[in-house]
Structure 1
């Protein structure tokens, strides 16, 4: 349901406490006292027929007796009463409730229905939103609102904390208060029966008093909704996550390597990264990271320079960087020469820059200014150990202005206790983050780097696929449908390879033989040498039963080895069904890397793509990374870069670099396969040979099951909707109307730059001369689940595509109203292209169930208003006299 009526929850004007009590230490009594002590300015109305007053406030016997309809109700009554209370509140007109009561899912009524479902059914007709049940409650310090049974009040601040754990909620509240950390919202989610993380992120992402969002997540229910909301919120402000359940407890055996390797925690990390958020390990890291990010300058690289007055602390910081695969800056020759002039001869002459323990304040200042101008350094970590020679606060006072005026990030670490307390205070007052140990400071730098990478990935323009491909979906679907008619849920190797070939993935030539004699014949047809493999639906990993023999040179050797395989199978797996053998050309690619590319289906996030080092020891090596589809070239390359084998693929000694574009292309093709064919539940290609000549799939397996949804629907991120592409006639020529893609940014920039100034003013209500990448990324990297932009494109000589016009619509999270805008090339105004684009957008929004399409236009934009009228829009005035609104009802009105 998303943000409907959430303003009544997060900005309440009045509150009723259902189950308010005079019993000390009860939930009803604690909530009442917290509300009163918090200083909430609106009416607080206790409801309990047992009392005339609670905490000195007049009480009411029931909801009907309340003097006014409360914006928000807080419910702490027994489970059996909650559905009826929700129904009463809904009938009264209340739009939000916090249900503190636990045990609703486990408690059933006389008909056997659980009370949580009954509660939701009671709320639905009234669109009453519910936080909880089984939660600690809600605090809004900016309003003095403490609708919780927590033991203390939250301080006022600019951070929203959202937690799925009730116990952790009170612990964090206590911890944050001791650190003087304040909040804009403090939200306990409980069981999230109605309001979930997606809803809260949608609201907080646009909430002006919240500058950062912190999440403690145990599980996610609606992955696509969560990803859409998280990606939108992360574009506006830092979103940081602690996800519990990191340990891979109870890993299940799977039919493919991928199913065994892609653990749930890896998938959550991939989702958090893809959404542009930052994951940290502990609650303390969470608050430390948000403090760092709130004060950090934009990062431009990942090279860290360490400046210290002690060799030991410098080595500690260096170790922390190295162990985390960070990168130390290499100082330029010019920087070293400049440092030579201001530092003692015994300085370290490298990074870390050890300026010696007796360093006075002036030496710090000079060294820091030189390092801040080094082009090969992206951030500075200054570490100070106290000495008896120069007081630490004198050094802090000398460098604080230099740090504040720096054009790159400077982190500081003041080692010690009482001796550096004043220095820390100086930096705290200057709003500069400082850390107690080198390791903490390095972790802060690494957090900045990871957050920067995730944000860049969120906004980065991917290159086009080097080689466009059109998969043969029909062939792949037919193979899967035929296989589903059999009792087996694992495709044979030849079937799997045929599907890969249909998606443009190079595979080794493979034949199927029923008997050893047929295998001998197939080998002669293919040519020697060949590889011989067992073919059985009951055996996933052939080498486990000696079912793979390589480099067979003669017909006799093929038949002899086939017979040996049969004997081994009878001995080791007599129950296994044998379908025969596969005979393959031997792929002689000396020096090629053995890779694993696969996919599996996560129960929360759906299809997941895996990449790593392959071979028979793949589970032992454990070199893998996972990502959520869909993928483009940039995302595929980033996935490759997160593995150890990526360094080998780059080439070393006399071994040339592998064709990483070809590897990335296979990842994209597999992602598209998982989006197209919903019956494929898991697959892996192992090994995929990769060298400078390209890639070749030697072995493949795929698991299948009847589809529960369409391919695109099961993805956590809606893929490019190719089905919406359509060729249309325009001025005697064919134009393609299709959704915008991230790769369109260069052409989109060119299109905008060619528009007349007046057309820019009509579309954007302002004169815009510069189009920064960050802005263009928002226009081209859209969430197809919530936004659509249709391009009209044509080919102009070798320049393809050339954009002729754009129609865009953004839907509210409830899909009630979509706001549209349209613009066509200045040379094509009045020729009918706008009608083509807007008509397509209208039909699309209708098909999505959107109820209304609206748009704003300048009053003097006569062409736009005429176009809107021609398509049935009504023209309405707006508060701004220079602007009018156009509205179109998209769905039949109910009688």
Structure 2
């Protein structure tokens, strides 16, 4: 099946024109590009065009091609790009390096006006080995295969390709993006997600300008096929200015890890492990059986097995069994040991290790495992150490689809990436709404509080304001009242009940504990009176320049069995808000226990976040204390997620300590920092989030003409089976009218594409119906759009089950889709309808679409509607 993505002419062109100067006057870059293009047979048509030759535009237009490669001096690039547009090319590659941002912007604008997809202008080029296309400066054409590679660095990409040849890896696409790109990583990922020739994807990136489109594309690609990411530049230069513990604890690299987990991708930390992980993921990643942490080992010697076990502990795998066959390990003993270990309930995968010993022939032992392969139910990896016969055995095993490695560390590390892939796929499936199923917060009160603070030109909330904001989201807090004198402090303490705490209240941003600004467990009025004056003296001595000093009174929270936790929020460009969780207390930065997750959260994601923190080990029964109320902690994290979604002005937040025990939890202290009005919108649009929440607000009832009622909502990842059932239940005619093919079911990549969407670039609205109260939900119809690269128009599609035809459902679905598209700022919807599909043509005309012939597809009609 071909890929009809808009980038197909760029990344898999059927015709290429090289725009250059006359022979003898070409740049060295043009000569090298021409040499690379002609070094191997290209399946399409290759034309070399002298941009300076005379001739009419009609003559030049004969060179029309999918891809124009501009091998021209910098001063001629703009003219060359305009020429490519005039002669009808569909995409452009500008190879080279060193072009500045201003020229790059000018070229991007010219390409956009001409409707051209532009790779470059600082790109090392692209390769498509299947087509025999090498339009790059990356070296010889890579071997063909199923791995695609995208990189922001041409130099690193060239090195990776050279290393891949030694690993026997083949490629479907190789693309070097470069700085100041027009077509970026996100757009290339979208293409590869639907490319039938790509089975796995490797992405190298150095940085991101916009997280939302990248995350959207990465989530779609990772849902369709394994994606590995190599990120360079792990630390941001300079010290981050932070006013909360959360901001100090969380760094850019940890946030990037959290984003990758949520996208379903896997991060590798070094180029040396990249292709080992890719090889293992390609063989095991899309298998039906997930790999978690249980690993069984079989070896013909203790040393390799111990080395593998040590490495497994280091990368987070658990060795469930270690079967030492001793030095005389025979082929038969290998076969029986692997067969037995496969039966263990606690084992997810088996690693067979072989040392090159004379009494244990490498080839015979490998043949025994090859014969066993048809009956294997769980993944098998092998490590045949050494060269000679061992290298031959590795080749045979790898050719049969059994991942084979030279060292125990490489084998175990690759399996750890497979385990991470399966864990992250569970996170990818979670698409929570901005508001959880918990009782709704007081959004109006929270926004009024923020507006009041910003109107006073402040960005740091007082403790009382911070706790009031938490209380608006139903987060339990200790009561906090401000005292203007020692006498007031005594009166407040008497009402709250002893013992109490006195705390510094200041808008200066200083932490209370840093200036001796906390007094705890004051038992009576005398202690409060004396403590009030003592606290002011301590603060003035510790911070003589501090002016706005106030005091608050709080009741002491019970702490006998409570665990001190820290829950926070940071704003980390380009990913936006990030939720932080770990151990709390006064030594929070010293303990450095920091797990992170991107909002929005649901209960599953909240539990996963808790389990990643080191403090999780203390939350069950621990040292005589009963387990904490885990449901309350999960609910608190979901409340913080609601705040992150609904309050885009939040920049940093600390809730520390949170005291948690078997009775529940309470926030003892809180510190919140806002952005200024210029930095953040005053109302939530969810554009500040890297992952857009599920649009629960779209749900509504759709009554049909015959009295049946459907429920409208956006598609979810778990709708895949329902969508497959809808397609299977269609008549052959209805199926062909929708898909222009005779398929009887949707292939997995299309199911992934249709059900895992970002609700911004794509939208799919389902009409769901139940035949009876106990009957399962079925999809009666679905309407969707996918935004075009211009961001102003989109392609739509509509499908209604045969049993619901003629009930007005198609019109209702399309009207709902129009409303969503207008809200997203789209100006036009386009679509292709088979010319024989008269029912659909009648419907779109009634909805106000124009209907025109389609030049490229004569069997179709192009339909368009202005919104």
TM-score by length of structure 2 reads 0.87
- Selected match of 1:194 from 170, 182, 206: 182
CA change 1:419–1:251 in 2 (3 A) is: farther
Distance 2:816 2:601 in 1: 27
Distance 1:601 1:652 in 2: 34
Distance 1:859 1:14 in 2: 35
SS at match of 1:176: helix
Please tell me whether residue 91 in structure 1 is matched to residue 86 in structure 2.
Answer: yes
SS at match of 1:219: coil
**Is the contact between residue 596 and residue 614 of structure 1 (CA under 8 Å) also seen in structure 2?**
yes
- Selected match of 2:310 from 311, 319, 334: 319
Please tell me whether residue 809 in structure 1 is matched to residue 784 in structure 2.
Answer: yes
SS at match of 2:276: helix
**Is the contact between residue 47 and residue 61 of structure 1 (CA under 8 Å) also seen in structure 2?**
no
Distance 1:888 1:469 in 2: 45
**Is the contact between residue 854 and residue 862 of structure 2 (CA under 8 Å) also seen in structure 1?**
no
Partner of 1:572: 542
- Selected match of 1:558 from 505, 525, 528: 528
Partner of 1:44: 47
- Selected match of 2:628 from 639, 643, 658: 658
Distance 1:466 1:120 in 2: 42
Distance 2:169 2:746 in 1: 38
Partner of 1:7: 9
Please tell me whether residue 221 in structure 1 is matched to residue 209 in structure 2.
Answer: yes
Distance 1:607 1:680 in 2: 8
Q: CA deviation at 1:77?
A: 3.9
**Is the contact between residue 465 and residue 665 of structure 1 (CA under 8 Å) also seen in structure 2?**
no
Distance 2:466 2:71 in 1: 56
CA change 1:328–1:19 in 2 (3 A) is: farther
1:690-729 counterparts in 2 under 5 A?
690-705=660-675, 706=677, 707-709=679-681, 710-725=684-699
Distance 2:387 2:39 in 1: 37
Distance 2:85 2:393 in 1: 57
1:390-469 counterparts in 2 under 5 A?
390-418=360-388, 420-459=390-429, 468-469=438-439
CA change 1:806–1:757 in 2 (3 A) is: closer
Please tell me whether residue 124 in structure 1 is matched to residue 115 in structure 2.
Answer: no
Distance 1:320 1:805 in 2: 52
**Is the contact between residue 79 and residue 103 of structure 1 (CA under 8 Å) also seen in structure 2?**
no
CA change 1:753–1:636 in 2 (3 A) is: same
1:535-684 counterparts in 2 under 5 A?
535-652=505-622, 654-684=624-654
CA change 1:464–1:326 in 2 (3 A) is: farther
State how many pairs are aligned. Answer: 848
Distance 1:500 1:734 in 2: 44
CA change 1:519–1:796 in 2 (3 A) is: farther
Distance 1:602 1:615 in 2: 24
Partner of 2:28: 26
CA change 1:424–1:497 in 2 (3 A) is: same
Distance 1:242 1:510 in 2: 48
Further displaced range: 599-608 or 572-581:
572-581
Distance 1:529 1:438 in 2: 60
Distance 1:462 1:847 in 2: 21
Partner of 1:293: 281
- Selected match of 2:68 from 67, 73, 91: 73
Deviations 1:111-159 (A, max 9, x none): xxx2222222222210222212222222222222222223433222222
Please tell me whether residue 208 in structure 1 is matched to residue 199 in structure 2.
Answer: no
Q: CA deviation at 1:741?
A: 6.8
Q: CA deviation at 1:783?
A: 2.1
SS at match of 2:108: helix
Distance 2:494 2:707 in 1: 54
**Is the contact between residue 755 and residue 825 of structure 1 (CA under 8 Å) also seen in structure 2?**
no
**Is the contact between residue 674 and residue 711 of structure 1 (CA under 8 Å) also seen in structure 2?**
no
Distance 2:56 2:833 in 1: 46
Distance 2:854 2:305 in 1: 63
CA change 1:415–1:180 in 2 (3 A) is: closer
**Is the contact between residue 789 and residue 806 of structure 1 (CA under 8 Å) also seen in structure 2?**
no
CA change 1:789–1:172 in 2 (3 A) is: closer
**Is the contact between residue 508 and residue 696 of structure 1 (CA under 8 Å) also seen in structure 2?**
yes
Further displaced range: 64-73 or 196-205:
64-73
Distance 1:190 1:775 in 2: 30
Gaps of 5+ in 2: none
CA change 1:761–1:404 in 2 (3 A) is: same
Q: CA deviation at 1:446?
A: 0.5
Partner of 2:759: 784
Please tell me whether residue 309 in structure 1 is matched to residue 297 in structure 2.
Answer: no
Gaps of 5+ in 1: 50-58, 107-113, 330-350
Q: CA deviation at 1:875?
A: 8.4
Distance 2:28 2:327 in 1: 59
Please tell me whether residue 274 in structure 1 is matched to residue 249 in structure 2.
Answer: no
CA change 1:886–1:634 in 2 (3 A) is: farther
Distance 1:734 1:262 in 2: 52
- Selected match of 1:144 from 132, 137, 140: 132
Partner of 1:842: 818
TM-score by length of structure 1 reads 0.85
Deviations 1:539-579 (A, max 9, x none): 34210111111111112222322222211222222332325
Further displaced range: 390-399 or 192-201:
390-399
Q: CA deviation at 1:374?
A: 2.2
- Selected match of 1:471 from 441, 452, 470: 441
Please tell me whether residue 102 in structure 1 is matched to residue 105 in structure 2.
Answer: no
Distance 2:832 2:6 in 1: 21
**Is the contact between residue 20 and residue 70 of structure 2 (CA under 8 Å) also seen in structure 1?**
yes
Q: CA deviation at 1:189?
A: 0.7
Deviations 1:179-224 (A, max 9, x none): 4433222211111421100111111111222222111110122211
- Alignment RMSD (CA, Å): 4.1
**Is the contact between residue 132 and residue 141 of structure 2 (CA under 8 Å) also seen in structure 1?**
no
**Is the contact between residue 564 and residue 659 of structure 2 (CA under 8 Å) also seen in structure 1?**
yes
**Is the contact between residue 795 and residue 829 of structure 2 (CA under 8 Å) also seen in structure 1?**
yes
CA change 1:559–1:859 in 2 (3 A) is: farther
Q: CA deviation at 1:85?
A: 3.0
Distance 2:636 2:752 in 1: 25
**Is the contact between residue 700 and residue 713 of structure 2 (CA under 8 Å) also seen in structure 1?**
no
SS at match of 1:132: strand
SS at match of 2:78: helix
Distance 1:813 1:29 in 2: 36
CA change 1:628–1:756 in 2 (3 A) is: closer
Please tell me whether residue 243 in structure 1 is matched to residue 222 in structure 2.
Answer: no
Distance 1:288 1:650 in 2: 38
Distance 1:633 1:877 in 2: 51
CA change 1:780–1:184 in 2 (3 A) is: closer
SS at match of 1:713: coil
Deviations 1:343-365 (A, max 9, x none): xxxxxxxx211122222222222
Further displaced range: 313-322 or 77-86:
77-86
Further displaced range: 760-769 or 569-578:
760-769
Partner of 1:343: none
CA change 1:829–1:118 in 2 (3 A) is: closer
Distance 2:733 2:181 in 1: 46
Further displaced range: 597-606 or 145-154:
145-154
Distance 1:562 1:795 in 2: 66
Distance 1:20 1:261 in 2: 59
Distance 2:12 2:705 in 1: 53
